[in-house]
Structure 1
Amino acid sequence: MRIGELAAQAGTSRDTIRFYEKIGLVTGRRLANGYRDFPPETVIWLHYVRTAQALGFSLAEIARHGAELRDAPDSAEALSALFEEKIRVIDARMAELAALRADLDARIGTGCPLRAASQAG
Protein backbone atom coordinates (compact mmCIF):
# COMPACT_ATOMS: atom_id res chain seq x y z
CA MET A 1 0.00 0.00 0.00
CA ARG A 2 1.38 3.41 -0.92
CA ILE A 3 1.92 6.12 1.66
CA GLY A 4 -1.14 8.19 0.71
CA GLU A 5 -3.48 5.25 1.09
CA LEU A 6 -1.84 4.27 4.38
CA ALA A 7 -2.17 7.83 5.68
CA ALA A 8 -5.85 7.93 4.74
CA GLN A 9 -6.65 4.57 6.33
CA ALA A 10 -4.63 5.30 9.48
CA GLY A 11 -6.02 8.82 9.86
CA THR A 12 -2.60 10.44 9.89
CA SER A 13 -0.48 12.49 7.54
CA ARG A 14 2.14 11.36 5.06
CA ASP A 15 4.69 13.44 6.95
CA THR A 16 3.87 11.56 10.15
CA ILE A 17 4.38 8.24 8.40
CA ARG A 18 7.68 9.45 6.95
CA PHE A 19 8.78 10.52 10.43
CA TYR A 20 7.71 7.18 11.93
CA GLU A 21 9.68 5.44 9.19
CA LYS A 22 12.72 7.59 9.95
CA ILE A 23 12.65 6.65 13.65
CA GLY A 24 11.92 2.99 12.93
CA LEU A 25 8.28 2.72 14.02
CA VAL A 26 7.15 1.60 10.56
CA THR A 27 9.00 -0.07 7.76
CA GLY A 28 8.19 0.09 4.11
CA ARG A 29 9.98 -1.01 1.02
CA ARG A 30 10.78 1.08 -2.00
CA LEU A 31 9.22 0.14 -5.31
CA ALA A 32 11.17 0.41 -8.56
CA ASN A 33 9.59 3.81 -9.17
CA GLY A 34 10.81 5.04 -5.75
CA TYR A 35 7.39 5.01 -4.08
CA ARG A 36 7.09 3.67 -0.56
CA ASP A 37 5.10 0.47 -0.17
CA PHE A 38 3.78 -0.64 3.21
CA PRO A 39 2.16 -3.93 4.19
CA PRO A 40 -1.56 -3.75 5.08
CA GLU A 41 -0.93 -4.59 8.75
CA THR A 42 0.82 -1.21 9.08
CA VAL A 43 -2.64 0.38 9.38
CA ILE A 44 -3.36 -1.65 12.52
CA TRP A 45 0.09 -0.84 13.90
CA LEU A 46 -0.43 2.91 13.34
CA HIS A 47 -3.76 2.76 15.19
CA TYR A 48 -1.93 0.98 17.99
CA VAL A 49 0.76 3.70 18.06
CA ARG A 50 -1.86 6.43 18.30
CA THR A 51 -3.66 4.62 21.13
CA ALA A 52 -0.38 4.14 22.99
CA GLN A 53 0.35 7.87 22.62
CA ALA A 54 -3.12 8.71 23.96
CA LEU A 55 -2.29 6.54 27.00
CA GLY A 56 0.81 8.63 27.65
CA PHE A 57 3.51 6.54 26.01
CA SER A 58 6.17 8.49 24.15
CA LEU A 59 7.28 7.54 20.67
CA ALA A 60 10.61 6.51 22.19
CA GLU A 61 8.83 4.10 24.55
CA ILE A 62 6.71 2.74 21.72
CA ALA A 63 9.80 2.29 19.53
CA ARG A 64 11.72 0.65 22.39
CA HIS A 65 8.97 -1.94 22.90
CA GLY A 66 7.78 -2.03 19.29
CA ALA A 67 9.21 -5.39 18.30
CA GLU A 68 7.76 -7.24 21.26
CA LEU A 69 4.41 -5.50 20.86
CA ARG A 70 4.20 -6.21 17.13
CA ASP A 71 4.76 -9.88 17.86
CA ALA A 72 2.00 -9.95 20.47
CA PRO A 73 -0.11 -6.76 20.20
CA ASP A 74 -2.99 -8.35 22.09
CA SER A 75 -0.92 -10.10 24.73
CA ALA A 76 -2.47 -9.19 28.07
CA GLU A 77 0.71 -10.20 29.88
CA ALA A 78 3.05 -8.02 27.78
CA LEU A 79 0.69 -5.07 27.80
CA SER A 80 -0.05 -5.35 31.51
CA ALA A 81 3.66 -5.22 32.33
CA LEU A 82 4.05 -2.07 30.23
CA PHE A 83 0.96 -0.49 31.78
CA GLU A 84 2.18 -1.29 35.30
CA GLU A 85 5.55 0.33 34.54
CA LYS A 86 3.81 3.39 33.09
CA ILE A 87 1.64 3.66 36.21
CA ARG A 88 4.81 3.63 38.37
CA VAL A 89 6.25 6.46 36.26
CA ILE A 90 3.00 8.43 36.52
CA ASP A 91 2.83 7.88 40.30
CA ALA A 92 6.42 9.13 40.70
CA ARG A 93 5.65 12.18 38.58
CA MET A 94 2.50 12.87 40.59
CA ALA A 95 4.55 12.74 43.81
CA GLU A 96 7.06 15.18 42.31
CA LEU A 97 4.25 17.51 41.28
CA ALA A 98 2.63 17.30 44.74
CA ALA A 99 5.96 18.23 46.36
CA LEU A 100 6.38 21.11 43.92
CA ARG A 101 2.86 22.31 44.68
CA ALA A 102 3.51 22.18 48.43
CA ASP A 103 6.75 24.13 47.96
CA LEU A 104 4.98 26.80 45.90
CA ASP A 105 2.15 26.94 48.44
CA ALA A 106 4.67 27.49 51.25
CA ARG A 107 6.03 30.54 49.40
CA ILE A 108 2.67 32.29 49.06
CA GLY A 109 2.50 35.42 51.19
CA THR A 110 6.19 35.44 52.12
CA GLY A 111 6.83 38.69 50.30
CA CYS A 112 9.49 36.97 48.22
CA PRO A 113 8.61 34.20 45.82
CA LEU A 114 12.05 32.66 46.31
CA ARG A 115 11.88 32.46 50.12
CA ALA A 116 9.90 29.70 51.79
CA ALA A 117 7.47 30.54 54.59
CA SER A 118 9.76 28.93 57.18
CA GLN A 119 12.54 31.37 56.16
CA ALA A 120 10.36 34.47 56.24
CA GLY A 121 11.04 36.67 59.00
Structure 2
Amino acid sequence: MQIGELAEATGLSRDTLRYYEKRGLLVARRSTNGYRDYPTEAVDWLRYIRIAQALGFTLQEIEADLPLLAAPVEQSAAVLRTALQAKLAEIDRRIDGLQSLRGELLHRLSERMEDCPLRPVAAAA
Protein backbone atom coordinates (compact mmCIF):
# COMPACT_ATOMS: atom_id res chain seq x y z
CA MET A 1 0.00 0.00 0.00
CA GLN A 2 1.48 3.32 -1.01
CA ILE A 3 1.48 6.41 1.18
CA GLY A 4 -1.50 8.03 -0.58
CA GLU A 5 -3.60 4.90 -0.13
CA LEU A 6 -2.63 4.69 3.53
CA ALA A 7 -3.42 8.37 4.04
CA GLU A 8 -6.84 7.89 2.48
CA ALA A 9 -7.55 4.72 4.48
CA THR A 10 -6.67 6.35 7.81
CA GLY A 11 -7.59 9.99 7.30
CA LEU A 12 -4.04 11.02 8.20
CA SER A 13 -1.96 13.32 6.06
CA ARG A 14 1.08 12.12 4.18
CA ASP A 15 3.19 14.44 6.33
CA THR A 16 1.86 12.77 9.48
CA LEU A 17 2.66 9.34 8.08
CA ARG A 18 6.19 10.45 7.21
CA TYR A 19 6.56 11.91 10.72
CA TYR A 20 5.41 8.63 12.30
CA GLU A 21 7.86 6.77 10.11
CA LYS A 22 10.68 9.11 11.12
CA ARG A 23 9.86 8.48 14.80
CA GLY A 24 9.82 4.73 14.22
CA LEU A 25 6.09 4.31 14.84
CA LEU A 26 5.51 3.18 11.30
CA VAL A 27 7.69 1.08 9.03
CA ALA A 28 7.57 1.11 5.26
CA ARG A 29 9.44 -1.00 2.81
CA ARG A 30 10.92 0.77 -0.19
CA SER A 31 10.05 -0.56 -3.60
CA THR A 32 12.59 -0.59 -6.40
CA ASN A 33 11.34 2.79 -7.60
CA GLY A 34 11.84 4.26 -4.10
CA TYR A 35 8.17 4.53 -3.20
CA ARG A 36 7.10 3.68 0.32
CA ASP A 37 5.18 0.43 0.56
CA TYR A 38 3.20 -0.10 3.77
CA PRO A 39 1.73 -3.40 4.92
CA THR A 40 -2.07 -3.57 5.18
CA GLU A 41 -1.68 -4.00 8.97
CA ALA A 42 -0.45 -0.39 9.11
CA VAL A 43 -4.09 0.78 8.94
CA ASP A 44 -4.94 -1.05 12.19
CA TRP A 45 -1.75 0.14 13.85
CA LEU A 46 -2.47 3.76 12.94
CA ARG A 47 -6.01 3.40 14.31
CA TYR A 48 -4.46 2.17 17.56
CA ILE A 49 -2.16 5.22 17.66
CA ARG A 50 -5.08 7.59 17.09
CA ILE A 51 -7.21 5.93 19.77
CA ALA A 52 -4.31 5.96 22.23
CA GLN A 53 -3.76 9.66 21.57
CA ALA A 54 -7.48 10.35 22.01
CA LEU A 55 -7.26 8.60 25.39
CA GLY A 56 -4.48 10.97 26.41
CA PHE A 57 -1.37 8.94 25.65
CA THR A 58 1.54 10.82 24.13
CA LEU A 59 3.50 9.56 21.15
CA GLN A 60 6.40 8.96 23.53
CA GLU A 61 4.20 6.71 25.68
CA ILE A 62 2.97 4.89 22.59
CA GLU A 63 6.55 4.42 21.39
CA ALA A 64 7.46 2.93 24.76
CA ASP A 65 4.77 0.30 24.21
CA LEU A 66 6.11 -0.76 20.79
CA PRO A 67 7.75 -3.92 22.21
CA LEU A 68 4.22 -5.08 23.08
CA LEU A 69 3.63 -5.80 19.43
CA ALA A 70 6.01 -8.76 19.60
CA ALA A 71 4.78 -9.97 23.00
CA PRO A 72 2.22 -12.72 23.52
CA VAL A 73 -1.36 -11.45 23.68
CA GLU A 74 -1.71 -12.32 27.39
CA GLN A 75 1.39 -10.31 28.28
CA SER A 76 0.34 -7.39 26.06
CA ALA A 77 -3.10 -7.30 27.67
CA ALA A 78 -1.62 -7.16 31.18
CA VAL A 79 0.81 -4.37 30.28
CA LEU A 80 -1.91 -2.45 28.45
CA ARG A 81 -4.20 -2.79 31.48
CA THR A 82 -1.45 -1.41 33.72
CA ALA A 83 -0.82 1.50 31.33
CA LEU A 84 -4.54 2.30 31.18
CA GLN A 85 -4.81 2.20 34.98
CA ALA A 86 -1.85 4.58 35.27
CA LYS A 87 -3.42 6.93 32.73
CA LEU A 88 -6.72 6.79 34.63
CA ALA A 89 -4.93 7.72 37.88
CA GLU A 90 -3.26 10.65 36.10
CA ILE A 91 -6.63 11.83 34.78
CA ASP A 92 -8.11 11.57 38.28
CA ARG A 93 -5.27 13.73 39.62
CA ARG A 94 -5.95 16.32 36.93
CA ILE A 95 -9.67 16.28 37.70
CA ASP A 96 -8.92 16.80 41.40
CA GLY A 97 -6.72 19.78 40.55
CA LEU A 98 -9.33 21.25 38.23
CA GLN A 99 -12.06 20.75 40.85
CA SER A 100 -9.89 22.60 43.37
CA LEU A 101 -9.31 25.44 40.92
CA ARG A 102 -13.02 25.52 40.09
CA GLY A 103 -13.88 25.80 43.78
CA GLU A 104 -11.44 28.66 44.23
CA LEU A 105 -12.88 30.49 41.22
CA LEU A 106 -16.45 29.99 42.47
CA HIS A 107 -15.41 31.32 45.87
CA ARG A 108 -13.90 34.43 44.30
CA LEU A 109 -16.97 34.98 42.14
CA SER A 110 -19.25 34.72 45.16
CA GLU A 111 -17.30 37.42 47.03
CA ARG A 112 -18.25 41.01 46.60
CA MET A 113 -16.29 42.49 43.72
CA GLU A 114 -15.00 45.33 45.97
CA ASP A 115 -13.23 42.74 48.10
CA CYS A 116 -11.77 40.88 45.16
CA PRO A 117 -7.96 41.24 45.09
CA LEU A 118 -8.00 41.00 41.31
CA ARG A 119 -10.33 43.98 40.89
CA PRO A 120 -8.80 46.69 38.68
CA VAL A 121 -7.93 49.94 40.45
CA ALA A 122 -10.09 52.89 39.38
CA ALA A 123 -8.24 55.65 37.54
CA ALA A 124 -7.91 58.97 39.32
CA ALA A 125 -10.16 61.70 37.96
TM-score, length of structure 2 as denominator length: 0.76
Name the Cα RMSD after superposition: 2.2
Unaligned runs of 5+ residues in structure 1 are 116-121
Match of 1:93 in 2: 94
Measure the CA separation in 2 of the matches of 1:77 and 1:66: 14
Code of the residue aligned with 2:64 in structure 1: it is R
Moved over 3 A (4+): 72-75
Greater gyration radius? 2
TM-score, length of structure 1 as denominator length: 0.78
Match of 2:70 in 1: 71
Unaligned runs of 5+ residues in structure 2 are 120-125
Measure the CA separation in 1 of the matches of 2:96 and 2:66: 29
2:83 aligned with 1:82, yes or no? yes
Percent of aligned pairs sharing the same letter? 51
C-alpha contact 1:3 1:17 (8 A) present in aligned 2 = yes
Q: Write out per-residue CA displacement over residues 61-95 of structure 1, whole angstroms, 9 at most, x where no aligned residue.
A: 21222232x22495321211111011011011011
Code of the residue aligned with 1:94 in structure 2: it is I
Measure the CA separation in 1 of the matches of 2:39 and 2:25: 13
Match of 2:122 in 1: none
Q: How many residues align?
A: 114
Structure 1 pair 41–104 and aligned structure 2 pair: CA distance change class (3 A) = same
